[in-house]
Amino acid sequence: MKLLLISNSTNFGEPYLAWCQTMVDLFCRENAISVNSNILFFPFAGIKIGGEAYPESYNVYEKRVQNVFTKWGYNNVHSVHHCDNKAELAIEKIEKADCILVGGGNTFHLAAEMHTFGLIDAVKKRVIEGIPYIGWSAGSNLACPTICTTNDMPVVEPKSFKGLNLIPFQINPHYLDPSPEIDRMIKHGGETRQDRLNEYLAVNQEMTVVGLREASALWVTGNRMTLRGGKKAVILRYGQDEKEIEPGDNVSLLLS
């Protein structure tokens, strides 16, 4: 498989997808995605984009991604939502795609749409066959066995929490380090991100979670996986100390 699983689309104060442009472009070129390759975009996590709410937000989301990819030299990015929600037409588009692109937003809404229209198996089949998969935020969550380590609010109820199961571990995008000083300063009385992940591990003790900080990504080619970007990531396992991994580290063992 060929996967690029990105934590976030935008760093504060930067243009959309700017921080990861070089990485995405390199990934596409290394995997023979060219100017006219058929890149199929999944906008289902975009509930509210550019002032427009679902379902009109899908058109806005598609245009936003098209504008960026066109500047990078990829002229054939189209969204699956134009199939008028007819599953058979969407699956036909998936079969003809050269690359799968899954945007961020609300992971529960993304999963709900994917399961409602029966697209999970079709996408997984194509990615296992070898077409590249690029996801950011919710799109990275979807590549996991489940979406249970998303940070999002369950604004809809999916038929299943199951993801594409392209990797055997969970990702927590936008991972934030615990900060007791800040928590005390703002008098936060609820659970932190770390508390929530510890709860997940307590009831899923066999699973591994990779906390992807902002401006980082996992790059998978076959059985090899490396951490890319400018930030360390953290490996979380039940009953074990956290393990930091450095940008450029080979973390292929997590695919076992």
**CATH assignment of 2-168+211-230+245-255, among 3.40.50.2300, 3.40.50.300, 3.40.50.10380, 3.40.50.880:** 3.40.50.880
SS percent in the chain: helix, strand, coil, step 5: 35, 20, 45
* Per-residue pLDDT tens digits for 92-143: 999 999 999 999 999 999 999 999 999 999 999 999 999 999 999 999 999 9
pTM of the model: 0.95
Q: What's the pLDDT tens digit per position in 47-106? A: 999 899 999 999 999 999 999 999 999 999 999 999 866 677 889 999 999 999 999 999
Question: DSSP secondary structure string, 147-185?
Answer: STT--S---S--S--B----SSSEEETT-----HHHHHH
Q: What are phi and psi of 84, to 5 degrees?
A: 55, 30
Report whether 237 contacts 201 (CB < 8 A).
Answer: yes
pLDDT of residue 136: 98
The helix (run of H) or strand (run of E) holding residue 16 is: none
57 is catalytic: no
Residue 140: active-site member: no
Options 25, 174, 179, 252, the catalytic residue: 174
Catalytic entry in 7, 9, 57, 137 = 137
Predicted local confidence at residue 225, as pLDDT: 98
Domain ranges of the chain: 2-168+211-230+245-255
Q: Is 174 a catalytic residue?
A: yes
- pLDDT tens for residues 151-205? 999 999 999 999 999 999 999 999 988 765 555 555 556 678 899 999 999 999 9
Contact indicator for 91, 122 with CB cutoff of 8 Å:
yes
